[in-house]
Chain A
Amino acid sequence: MEVDLQAVCRVFEDVLNGSMLREQADRWAYAVVQEEETGVVTYSPPFEREHIWAGVMYLYGINTMKAPNEYLHSNDDIREAMMAILCGGDDKLTGDDSASLRAAVATRITVLV
């Protein structure tokens, strides 16, 4: 299984624009976690592995509820997390490729706001 930054970004987007249920996003992330346990997940680009994994781990459990039929996280929470996970971080180790990739993700998030 290969997981890329764009795919994670797309799941966040789909949750925020309502085209994907949070339950589906949670199960998608769970499937990645299960695959990771067997060690057959590759990350693309490899230098974004930490951000991709952080995104997956946020999506895993995104449908947690605080009360029946009431999600714990608001859409604002999710949007902020998406920005912090996929656009934040330290560029000094990964260089220009990483910076430009995150800039592209940031642009997509801005469109969502």
Chain B
Amino acid sequence: MDVDDFRLSIDTASSEVGRRSDAATEGSAFAAAVVPLRKIPPTYTNQRLSPDRLRQIDRVFFGPFFREKYGMGGDKALENGRIRYYGPVQPANSARELAGRRYVHEFNTVTGCTRGWHETLDRMGNVRQIRPERRDRTVRHYQFDSNGRYKGSW
């Protein structure tokens, strides 16, 4: 069931209440209409959302804001409540094994914090280098080999 199905089920339940013959007064009908809302799966602050559920929520609430700006290349919901938005790969035609770079914007749905970095990808799609946006504004590149092992930084 996705978010749209969920909305549809609420609308259906609400409209059925209005047609009940035992709905003696308008007030009780209104109260009954509220009942289906109690079926919404509760979300506790310490409850970990599955990536699929997180992605569903993102599609409705956060996504339209972040995806338009940062997620032209796609997005991914992580296990830890974070969503990453990927920009388009900007090609580097003379960089041999490196295909180009892209900006990645990460949104933490638990804290509301965001952070971003630039990734350099090889032609196999592996991340070979990242350049985070550091608080002290210094630029530092962190390199990885084709197997994802950290090589060093400069």
Contacts and interface: CB of A to CB of B under 8 A. Distances in A.
Interface of A: 23, 30, 36-37, 53, 57-58, 60-61, 63-66, 68, 72-74, 76-77, 80-81
A77 B103 contact: no
B141 A65 contact: yes
Nearest to A61: B118
Interface of B: 69, 87, 90-95, 98, 100-101, 103, 114, 118, 120, 129, 131, 133, 139, 141, 154
16 contacts: A23-B139, A53-B69, A60-B103, A61-B101, A61-B131, A63-B139, A64-B120, A64-B131, A64-B141, A66-B95, A66-B129, A72-B95, A74-B93, A74-B94, A77-B92, A81-B90
A66 B118 CA distance: 12
Contacts of B91: 77, 81
Given A72-B92, A77-B92, 8 more contacts: A63-B139, A64-B120, A64-B141, A65-B141, A66-B98, A66-B129, A68-B154, A73-B90
Residue with the highest number of chain A CB atoms closer than 10 Å, among B90, B92, B120: B90
Nearest to B70: A57
Contacts of A37: 114
Contacts of A36: 69
Contacts of B103: 57, 60-61
Contacts of A63: 139
A77 B120 contact: no
Residue with the highest number of chain B CB atoms closer than 10 Å, among A23, A57, A61: A61
A22 to B, nearest CB: 11
